[in-house]
Chain A
Amino acid sequence: MTAAPLLEVSHLRVEFPTRRGTLLALDDISFSIASGEILGVVGESGAGKSLTGAAIIGLLDPPGRIAAGEIKLTGRRIDNLPYEQMRRIRGKEIGAVFQDPLTSLNPLYTVGRQLIETITTHLDLSATQARVRAIELLASTGIPAPEARVDHFPHQFSGGMRQRVVIALALAANPRLIVADEPTTALDVSIQAQIIALLKKVCREQGAAVMLVTHDMGVIAETCDRVAVMYAGRIAEIGPVADVIHRPAHPYTVGLMGSIPAMDEDRERLLQIDGAMPRLTAIPPGCAFNPRCPHAVDRCRAERPEIAEVGATHAACWQPVAVEALR
């Protein structure tokens, strides 16, 4: 992590103007990813994790817009680029993998045609060379008989195989950053394990950085180097994955970890966080987590905590949970 960050997001703020006022969907998000690093972004539905990914690849759905902050890729700002320039970066320098492999592929084109289109758009290769590369890509993502499969249509692939095709597409132009939004959520566990192994392999072999958005802490624990925990459009805690899981500092992270049924211990009851995440229209003042927090004090209800170093991780909390309190 001593290398200069490949992706740097600072004070990112995403708003959705609506008739009833402006919704603050992402509020002061800052993090960075180094080359070859896998950063996990975890949180419950509506926490803003997919939106963070969409903002980075420049695919925010209108009326959503970046209201403040910067996104830098290899030192260059990419959040304010015109559409055409961003289109060249997307695919070439940033690859994207989405949750549903069926909707991210065009059902009317063979996978080969879709791969070749991406390759010739971003790389200076002839159609024949591009086809060779397409077959190589399919082979590198573990698709058996790639020479034959390249001429098949998406519906002829199973879910896991389709997700491999989508990963091959994302890798087509050797991107430096891959944004993977819930890449394994639609898949069965045995297939999920294969896709995770594949993502780790390409990250290691190509030195690409990966931003892995998921709600599954197990996937994060197995795959990532660092993890950011999001809550109500803010980062609650960010740090090395082992520290966040075993020595979390933010009460929300503690609750989140406790609510996951463990495979290696028996508990009569799961730790539960009462209530639900606030809607974006009704984020409480101060710390967004304060109504559900067992440790909340007056300051939490009035003042918003900045993210600061707590032990081995960084957490946005006025009352970071002491390690002893967890045991």
Chain B
Amino acid sequence: MSTHLVEVQDLAKIFDVSPPWLNRVVERKPKAFVHAVDGVSFGIERGRTLALVGESGCGKSTVARLLVGLYGATRGAVRFDGEDIAKTLGGSGAQKLRRRMQMIFQDPYASLNPRWKVLDIVAEPLREHGLVKDAAEARRRVAELLSSVGLNPADAEKFPHQFSGGQRQRISIARALATQPEFLVCDEPTSALDVSVQAQVLNIMKDLQRERGLTYLFISHNLAVVRHVADQVGVMYLGRLVEVADKAKLFSTPRHPYTRMLLDAIPDIHMTGRARTPVQGEVPNPLNPPSGCSFHPRCPLANARCKAERPALLEFKGVRVACHAVEEGRAA
């Protein structure tokens, strides 16, 4: 376990989405809570990529934000290199820890300040962490960072609006790399991009990982992208991990019925005219999740036990699956 750079144990985040106090009193509405992340545990080995996949509202972005400390956890702990980040971020080591983990956001249009030059955007973390002595050194470091992501050093004098979506995402990557972090949390880094540009960004991310030994947490809803970048894959459904497996195992022999459904639902360019029977139903309202296994209303293998008892994430032939049907051997 010591090889894990990041370890997450029983992590949970509950959001209070209750109506305002007056409405609760007058309309007699109860308090309402969303269990955005509900007891998630996993580890990421140094230099490897763990991808989290799932549909909208499954809590994958919340996990990303919990990991870098943008949200405080309701329960559970995130350990980075053996240290509990909740403690470290509250204490004197916060600055040092933040330098070691950085985040890349989904929307390259919203995550860059439109009034700042690229130079200032990329140099901000350098200045913040006192990694450069003067403006000349900052300028030199920014030029290096920009060329490492395939941009022209002269681009430092431009503003974000002068760049396309893919180029902006490279600027975000350059900014994230500025403090020479070990761990990058990438929240849907390519989902706002066109496919040919997505390929450029994914290639850069893989090259950087190889050169610098970076560890990634990669959040995506696109299983084909995940298959391309990840070493390990975690599948989330309504705030819980339902399956965690090595990439090869997950894609060749998916265990959990939800994973199978997801894999079956993806339109693939190599399967022209494939006839499919799409899975019925939709993701339930997270305010009022189903009892037992939260997937049971859509699951073809559900029985009485699935409706009553919540399955735990258990080891099964080298993968971890939370499913009664798999545990009992009912899943073929």
Contact = CB atoms under 8 A, between A and B. Distances in A.
Co-assembled chains A and B: yes
Contact of A259 (B164, B199, B266): B199
A19 interface: no
A304 interface: no
Contacts of B222: 261
Contact of A160 (B165, B194, B282): B282
A269 interface: yes
Given A189-B221, A193-B265, A262-B224, A269 B271 contact: no
Contact of B265 (A158, A192, A220): A192
Interface in A81-115: none
10 contacts: A160-B282, A192-B265, A215-B194, A219-B267, A221-B272, A260-B224, A261-B202, A261-B222, A263-B251, A273-B199
B270 interface: yes
Interface stretch (B108-116, B127-135, B273-281): B273-281
A-B pairs with lowest CB-CB distance, top 4: A218-B267, A259-B199, A193-B278, A261-B228
B92 interface: no
Interface in A173-222: 188-194, 196-197, 215-222
B97 interface: no
A220 B267 CA distance: 8
A271 interface: yes
Given A245-B270, A263-B266, 10 more contacts: A194-B278, A216-B267, A260-B199, A262-B270, A263-B251, A264-B270, A272-B196, A272-B200, A272-B203, A276-B166
Contact of A222 (B200, B262, B271): B271
A191 B272 contact: no
A241 interface: yes
B164 A268 contact: no
Given A263-B223, A276-B166, A270 B202 contact: yes
A234 B87 CA distance: 57
B194 A188 contact: no
A270 B199 contact: yes
Interface residues of A, number: 45
B55 interface: yes
A81 B90 CA distance: 68
Contact of B195 (A196, A256, A264): A256
Nearest to B57: A188
Interface string A207-248: 000000001111111110000000000000000011001000
Given A267-B228, A274-B200, A44 B194 contact: yes
Interface of A: 44-45, 158, 160-161, 188-194, 196-197, 215-223, 241-242, 245, 255-264, 267-274, 276
Interface of B: 55-56, 164-167, 194-200, 202-203, 206, 221-225, 227-228, 251, 261-274, 276, 278-280, 282-283
A272 B190 CA distance: 14
A245 B276 CA distance: 20
B196 A221 contact: no
A221 B269 CA distance: 5
A255 B196 CA distance: 7
B195 A222 contact: no
A261 B203 contact: no
Contact of B224 (A256, A258, A261): A261
Contact of B280 (A194, A222, A268): A194
B267 A193 contact: yes
Contacts of A272: 196, 199-200, 203
A192 B225 CA distance: 17
Contact of A245 (B165, B261, B272, B280): B272
Contacts of A276: 164, 166-167, 197
A261 B227 contact: yes
A144 to B, nearest CB: 10
A256 B200 CA distance: 12
A259 B198 contact: yes
Nearest to B202: A270
A259 B164 CA distance: 18
A274 B200 CA distance: 7
Given A196-B267, A256-B196, A270-B203, A190 B278 contact: yes
Contact of A190 (B194, B198, B227, B279): B279
A49 to B, nearest CB: 12
Contacts of A219: 267
Given A222-B267, A262-B224, A272-B199, A193 B251 contact: no
A190 B284 CA distance: 13
A236 B183 CA distance: 41
Contact of B196 (A44, A188, A220, A263): A44
Contact of B206 (A196, A223, A269): A269
